[in-house]
A and B are shown apart, each in its own frame.
Chain A
Amino acid sequence: MADEALFLLLHNEMVAGLYRAAEQGEGENGRCITKLENMGFRVGQGLIERFTKDTARFKDELDIMKFICKDFWTTVFKKQIDNLRTNHQGIYVLQDNKFRLLMQMSAGKQYLEHAPKYLAFTCGLIRGGLSNLGIKSIVTAEVSTMPACKFQVMIQKM
């Protein structure tokens, strides 16, 4: 479907565009990740407002995380999170074995160093979504083998 590809293409272009601008001397590379993350944050806020419009009120934090893993992930990435783990003390690890934004790249180690660029937006997406639901968090991502990746969500207790 064309509409599925649209998000991927737009995202790729967004990353490429930002890095191209950085190369031409507008700020250093580290800023790009932050910029992408901030974009994701705002998008996440808007999306979660729309997605939770018709759902029942959430019971607790875990209920919210489950919603992110199932409904939210399905709508954005067309699949659910493969594995959700938690230590019940505010740390959640979301594992996706075939992350959609990394699927276009060859599996293996070749592009491993470029992977963080393609995960920053999604980190922001999660953080923005959670923040709109009243949970402050820090989201980091890591990749060990190519299409699989892990997002670690650390909840900031207030």
Chain B
Amino acid sequence: MAVCIAVIAKENYPLYIRSIPTENELKFHYTVHTSLDVVDEKISAMGKALVDQRELYLGLLYPTEDYKVYGYVTNSKVKFVMVVDSSNTALRDNEIRSMFRKLHNSYTDIMCNPFYNPGDRIHSRAFDNMVTSMMMQVC
């Protein structure tokens, strides 16, 4: 489903980034990096919004020719960015939302792991597997 999934820390450095191996990895790093500005913009605009609109899911950040970039920010300001192939039109907003929820649940589990230091890069097999399962559904 997704071609690239990234977790970005509060201070805007990557905690985790993985993309499908068939394509140029650097390109995705670049896409994710550029999306952070849009995330910032959306958060600051959202502070003024009504309570029911202050959702963690940010929706589509921006579309490019080949990809769509979606964003999600937790209350602790950790950002999740997902890059999806835009040829995949079957993917609906709700599905993206539930994928982000899964990602968030998984991240929470990592945070509650006593052997993980907050702010370190994520090296977790459980998280890896979950991300892999999200990317697998493509084909």
A and B together in one complex: yes
B54 adjacent to A45 (CB under 8 Å):
no
B76 adjacent to A60 (CB under 8 Å):
no
B108 adjacent to A53 (CB under 8 Å):
yes
Q: A46: CB under 8 A from chain B?
A: yes
Q: How many residues of B contact A (CB 8 A)?
A: 21
Q: B75: CB under 8 A from chain A?
A: yes
CB < 8 Å neighbour of B55 from A50, A52, A56, A60: A56
Shortest Cβ distance from A48 into B: residue: B76
Shortest Cβ distance from A46 into B: residue: B112
- Report the minimum CB–CB distance from A113 to chain B (whole Å): 32
Given the complex of chains A and B, what is the CA–CA distance between A49 and B111 in angstroms? 7
CB < 8 Å neighbour of A132 from B51, B76, B105: B76
CB < 8 Å neighbour of B108 from A42, A49, A60: A49
CB < 8 Å neighbour of B111 from A46, A57, A58, A60: A46
- Report the minimum CB–CB distance from B80 to chain A (whole Å): 13
Q: Chain B 18-57, CB within 8 Å of chain A: the 1/0 string? A: 0000000000000000000000000100110001101110
Query: What would be 19 A-B contacts, judged by CB atoms less than 8 Å apart?
Result: A42-B118, A46-B112, A48-B76, A49-B111, A50-B112, A52-B75, A52-B76, A53-B105, A55-B75, A56-B52, A57-B43, A57-B47, A57-B55, A59-B51, A60-B47, A132-B76, A133-B75, A133-B76, A134-B10
Given the complex of chains A and B, what is the CA–CA distance between A107 and B104 in angstroms? 44
Given the complex of chains A and B, what is the CA–CA distance between A103 and B55 in angstroms? 39
Using a CB-CB cutoff of 8 Å, which residues 87-125 of chain B contact chain A?
Answer: 104-105, 107-108, 111-112, 118
Given A57-B54, A60-B47, A134-B10, are A52 and B112 also a contact pair (CB < 8 Å)? Answer: no
Given A57-B46, A132-B118, A134-B10, are A49 and B74 also a contact pair (CB < 8 Å)? Answer: yes
A134 adjacent to B77 (CB under 8 Å):
yes
Given the complex of chains A and B, what is the CA–CA distance between A57 and B107 in angstroms? 17
A50 adjacent to B47 (CB under 8 Å):
no
Measured between beta carbons, the chain B residues less than 8 angstroms from A52 are 74-76
Measured between beta carbons, the chain A residues less than 8 angstroms from B54 are 56-59
Given the complex of chains A and B, what is the CA–CA distance between A126 and B51 in angstroms? 24
